[in-house]
Amino acid sequence: MASSSKDSSKSAKADKRGKLSWLTAAIFIIFALFSTLMMVHKLSEPLLNPRWFINTKTGKADITDFFQYYQASALGQSKQSKKVYDPDVQKAWADELIAPIKSDKVFYNQQPPFSYTLLLPLSWLPPPSAYLAWCLAQMGFGLCGLYYLSRLGPLKSRDRLLFIAGVALSFPAYSCIWHGNTSFWLLGAMSLFIAFIYERKELLSGVFLALSTFKPQYLFPLTVPVAAMKRWKIAAALVIFELLLMLSAAPLIGFENVIGYPYVVTHAESSDNFIGVNAHKMISLRGPIAMFLSTGASLKITAAVMFLSLGPLFLLWRKCTGVLSTVATVDSMRFLWAVTICTMLLTSPHSHLFDFLLVAMAAALTLKTLSPIGRCPGAVNSDAVNKIWTIMLVVFPPLSWVANFAIGQEHAAVFFFFPYLFTLLILALLALKNSLSRSETGGIR
């Protein structure tokens, strides 16, 4: 009798799990179809309308990040190539693009000097074709780099492909395509930088870290592991290749522009005269700070926090990877990278919604399952922290769309993506602490 009762109880539980699995699958299929349609629609716009960047309802131009890169290519090959950072030159180029509409402010291009070299071929195509080629190429590179990194994580090969699909269909991915931003490029370059550290391919690791400096603010936290582990060959490769990249730009835009680039960045980031900074829409600490303080003040405070965070981050890496360290495990190293990635984004002086894509690197290294309830088959005791971490990452792709529509693009970065990222950092720190504690007490390594 008791045996029969137990059997029926097990059967009921299995039934419930089966229904939940089907419901979850149905929700994710609907989300995937919706997200794919949105992505295809956005990519097809330029092919259907060569002036897709003009809003016919408002009569205003929607100049996105893509046009900064297209402008860099065009100006780098023009007679004004030595004045590429001149706001008036940039405004004149943009006004010619959107004519007869005139812009009030400059959507200022503060990309590093070497971008003028690497982006040179972009303007050889007309804007619609260039936009499509640019988005598809860097999306492909980003996802391939992420897949390469995910091979070092605990996910099975089938789950890795589903994971990559989830990243590609998330709202940050759509936002990156919409704006034509470089976040997918960074995702690929940084993923390969980390993967090659694991594989001890120092030269390649340094080269890809240098290629990720399209957004130079991320360089500081990413050099901490290199310094803490004393991987000086990576540091040397980074410095040499970065210098070569910068020198390659000198004949094109002039040596003065290469030398004066630090001033260009700090001036552009702290100025209210340029559009495109949008500090109040950032997913880093700067977002909420900018809601109460000026653009310049929010930059200085966030930059100070970023530099102050480097010390504790370095000590954490030394504790886990130092010569005398015996506590580091595969699991703790993965969460150490997760802490670094989340810290990098949270303390960045310039991180927008599409930069949330970079969290996918932390997910690639740490996720053990794609179960939306955080259940890992075969796991003996999956602690609460790991479960919450897993759930937050697995449900993020559809949830990111819901949050964007529910809160609105104007406020989603500060009121959803920032607290979400902050929570992930806390969870990564707790997971790292738990992993180190288990190894110190002789637990499962």
Calpha distance 363→163 (Å, rounded): 9
pLDDT-derived band at 119 (thresholds 50, 70, 90) equals: very high
pLDDT score of 92: 87
pLDDT score of 96: 86
- List pLDDT tens digits, range 128-155: 999 999 999 999 999 999 999 999 999 9
Does the pLDDT of residue 30 top 80, yes or no? yes
Query: Can you name the residues that pair with 275 across neighbouring β-strands?
Result: 107
Cite the DSSP H helix spans in 181-253: 183-198, 202-211, 219-228, 232-253
pLDDT score of 9: 52
Does the pLDDT of residue 116 top 50, yes or no? yes
Q: Higher model confidence: residue 328 or residue 42?
A: 42
Please, are residues 220 and 340 in contact by the beta-carbon 8 Å criterion?
no
Give the up-direction half-sphere exposure of residue 177: CA atoms within 13 A in the CB hemisphere.
26
Please, are residues 439 and 445 in contact by the beta-carbon 8 Å criterion?
yes
Query: Can you name the residues that pair with 106 across neighbouring β-strands?
Result: 274
Calpha distance 445→436 (Å, rounded): 9
Q: Running DSSP on this structure, what letter comes out for residue 423?
A: H
Handedness of CA 260, 304, 351, 370 (dihedral sign): positive
pLDDT score of 324: 44
Does the pLDDT of residue 407 top 80, yes or no? yes
pLDDT-derived band at 295 (thresholds 50, 70, 90) equals: confident
Q: Running DSSP on this structure, what letter comes out for residue 395?
A: S
**Residue linked to tokens 């984004």:** 345
Does the pLDDT of residue 274 top 80, yes or no? no
Out of 9-23, 80-94, 150-164, 265-279, the most confident range is 150-164
pTM of the model: 0.90
Calpha distance 56→36 (Å, rounded): 25
Would you state the torsion angle of the CA atoms of residues 430, 365, 351, 129, taken in this order, to the nearest 10 degrees?
A: -160
pLDDT score of 3: 52
Please, are residues 393 and 373 in contact by the beta-carbon 8 Å criterion?
no
pLDDT-derived band at 376 (thresholds 50, 70, 90) equals: low
Calpha distance 247→225 (Å, rounded): 27
What distance lies between CA 391 and its chain's CA centroid? 20
Please, are residues 8 and 142 in contact by the beta-carbon 8 Å criterion?
no
